């Protein structure tokens, strides 16, 4: 009888894979590199993940769950809608800056690398974007109820536009290794979309 899965080993594999994939990309991150980083035998990988693509989807879910836990509560804080949304994206930008803008946003990175070629990854990306849209749309909706945000655009559309503009800023920030695109997003794009 096979041994039951160990949740600690799964978490170690996810942490190792997240670090490797975020810094080097999915294609450049081999299973052996991931298992070596997790301190487990290579054969253990497939006891936890049926394929490397399924692992990529699990990494994305792990990455986004952490953001939801740490940063999405900013969208529910006691402040104006624009302040909450700006603080949320500012916190994401702080994390990008902490890595000298070398990593960028894993959601954007994986969208570019695998979004068109891997169905498990595309499915997970859509799920994450839907959750992100929902959180931002709820914040925008509350702002509209408080007459804090423009009424002429649907909250779901505004949420999607914010994410799309953010991902563009994150992509450019990674290429230029600069906070400037993030600052433009916060100072120009957010107010333009919300007012």
Q: 25 and 73 share a domain?
A: no
For 22, the domain range is: 1-49
Number of folded domains that form the chain? 2
pTM, entire model: 0.93
Q: Binning pLDDT at 50, 70 and 90, where does residue 7 land?
A: confident
pLDDT tier, 4 (very low <50, low <70, confident <90, very high otherwise):
low
- Tell me, yes or no, whether 117 and 27 share the same domain: no
* The two structure tokens encoding residue 105: 């946003």
How far is residue 187's CA from residue 86's CA, in Å, rounded to a whole number?
9
- Residue range 15-24, pLDDT digits in tens: 999 999 999 9
Written as six digits, the tokens of 46 are: 């497939």
- Which residue blocks in 51-145 are alpha helix, DSSP H? 52-70, 81-98, 106-114, 119-145
The continuous run of DSSP H or E covering 1 comes out as: none
Same domain? 63 vs 114? yes
> How do residues 78-110 score in pLDDT, each as one tens digit?
999 999 999 999 999 999 999 999 999 999 999
What CA–CA distance (Å, rounded) separates 195 from 81? 10
Q: What is the dihedral of CA 124, 171, 63, 190, to 10 degrees?
A: -90
Q: Report yes or no: 59 and 17 within 8 Å, Cβ to Cβ.
A: yes
With a CB cutoff of 8 Å and minimum separation 6, the contacts of 63 are 18, 22, 106, 107
CATH number for the domain including 136? 1.10.357.10
Q: What are phi and psi of 47, to 5 degrees?
A: -75, -20
């Amino acid at each position: 009888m096979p041994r039951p899965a160990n949740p600690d080993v799964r978490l170690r594999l996810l942490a190792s894979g997240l670090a490797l994939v975020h810094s080097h990309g999915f294609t450049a991150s081999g299973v052996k590199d991931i298992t070596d980083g997790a301190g487990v035998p290579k054969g253990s990988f497939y006891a936890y993940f049926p394929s490397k693509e399924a692992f990529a989807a699990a990494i994305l879910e792990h990455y986004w769950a952490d953001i939801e836990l740490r940063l999405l509560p900013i969208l529910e804080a006691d402040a104006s809608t624009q302040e909450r949304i700006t603080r949320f994206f500012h916190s994401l930008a702080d994390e990008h800056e902490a890595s000298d803008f070398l990593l960028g946003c894993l959601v954007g990175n994986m969208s570019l690398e695998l979004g068109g070629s891997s169905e498990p990854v595309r499915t997970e990306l859509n799920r994450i974007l839907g959750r992100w849209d929902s959180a931002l749309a709820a914040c925008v909706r509350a702002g509209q109820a408080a007459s804090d945000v423009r009424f002429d655009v649907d909250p779901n559309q505004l949420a999607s536009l914010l994410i799309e503009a953010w991902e563009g800023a994150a992509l450019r920030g990674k290429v230029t290794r600069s906070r400037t695109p993030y600052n433009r997003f916060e100072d120009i794009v957010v107010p333009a979309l919300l007012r």
